[in-house]
Amino acid sequence: MANETLAGIGEAIRKAAAVYADALAAVGKALQDVTGVAAGADRDRLVENWLRVARMSKDGVITALDQGYELWEREVRRSAAQTRGAAPERPANPADAWTENWRRATEAFGNVGVLGDAARKQAETIQKTLQDGLRAWQRLWEPEKK
């Protein structure tokens, strides 16, 4: 497992960076669409919600990188300590907290009138794209089920 995990971390980092770039591009397009809407409180809330989604995208990728490093370090230490005894247990999966935060963020779009529904659907699409791209991290993080 350690060698497979260590080898997969580089690929997971590459995918995370690509997914993050795709998410920012999607949010950028959504923000361009919002600029065509008449100025007002609804537009301001949409802009703030999109900025929140962009920030959460960044936070998700940074969390994945941090967790990936922790996994890498743990696997290196486990491999080095195999002769000394049992490996440490894996901590809980951080993807669950990230998914819950995304759910809350997309729900916030529902509070922005008619435009909010379309924005919520776009945010859900971005979330799905990020989740699909970050699956490599989940595969590294979660032990194989036999």
Q: Round to the nearest angstrom and report the end-to-end CA distance of the chain.
A: 13
**Per-residue model confidence (pLDDT) at position 4:** 65
Residue 111 DSSP one-character state: G
pLDDT at 3 over 70: no
Given pLDDT bands bounded at 50, 70 and 90, which one contains residue 98? confident
pLDDT at 84 over 70: no
Exposed/middle/buried for 20, CB within 10 Å: 0-12, 13-18, 19+?
buried
- Contact (Cβ atoms closer than 8 angstroms) between residue 1 and residue 122: no
- Contact (Cβ atoms closer than 8 angstroms) between residue 20 and residue 57: yes
* pLDDT tens by residue, 17-69: 888 888 889 889 988 888 877 788 888 888 888 898 889 888 888 888 888 78
Q: What is the mean pLDDT of residues 76-97?
A: 64
> Of 125, 134, 1, 114, nearest to 68 (Cα)?
134
Task: Name the residue type at position 122.
Answer: Q
Structure-token pair, residue 54? 């962009």
Q: What is the mean pLDDT of residues 80-98?
A: 62
Name the average pLDDT for the chain. 76
Q: What is the mean pLDDT of residues 93-97?
A: 69
Given pLDDT bands bounded at 50, 70 and 90, which one contains residue 140? low
Q: Class assignment of domain 2-141?
A: mainly alpha
